[in-house]
Amino acid sequence: MTLSNQEQKQYDRHLILDEIGIKGQLKLKQAKVLVVGAGGLGCPILQYLTAAGVGTIGIIDHDTIDQSNLQRQILYTHDDIGKFKAEISVKKLSKLNPFVTFQTYIEKLTSKNVMNLFSKYDIIVDGSDNFPTRYLVNDAAVLTNKPVVFGSIFKFEGQVSVFNYQNGPTYRCLYPTAPNPNTVPNCSQIGVLGVLPSIIGSFQANEVIKIICNIGNILSGKLLNFNALTMTQLLLDFKKNAAIAIKTLDSNYDLSCGLVKQGFQTITIKQLNQNPEEYNLLDVREANERAIHHIGGQHIPLGELTNRFNEINTNKDLIVYCKSGVRSKIAIQLLKDKGWTDTILQLEALKF
- Let me know how long the chain is: 352
Q: Which burial class, exposed, middle or buried, applies to 50 when counting CB atoms under 10 A from its CB (0-12, 13-18, 19+)?
A: buried
Which of the following is catalytic: 173, 213, 257, 322? 322
* Contact between residue 37 and residue 86 where contact means Cβ atoms under 8 Å apart: no
The 3-class SS string of 76-120 reads CCHHHCCCEHHHHHHHHHHHHCCCCEEEEECCCCCCCCHHHHHCC
- The CA distance from 350 to 347, in Å, is 8
Residue 45: partners with Cβ closer than 8 Å, 6 or more residues away: 35, 125, 127, 151, 201, 202, 204, 205, 208
Nearest to 240, CA basis, from 172, 164, 169, 171: 169
Complete DSSP assignment for 31-65: -EEEEE--STTHHHHHHHHHHHT-SEEEEE---B-
257 among known catalytic residues? no
In angstroms, the first-to-last Cα distance of the chain is: 51
Q: Looking at the DSSP assignment, which residues form a beta bridge with residue 152?
A: 159
Looking at residue 104, its amino acid is: T
Identify the active-site residue in 43, 173, 187, 213: 187
Instruction: Give yes or no: 213 in active site.
Output: no
DSSP 123-153: EEEE---SHHHHHHHHHHHHHHT--EEEEEE
Q: How far apart are CA 207 and CA 162, in angstroms?
A: 8
Q: CA 323 to CA 327: how far, in whole Å?
A: 8
Q: Which residues are catalytic?
A: 187, 322
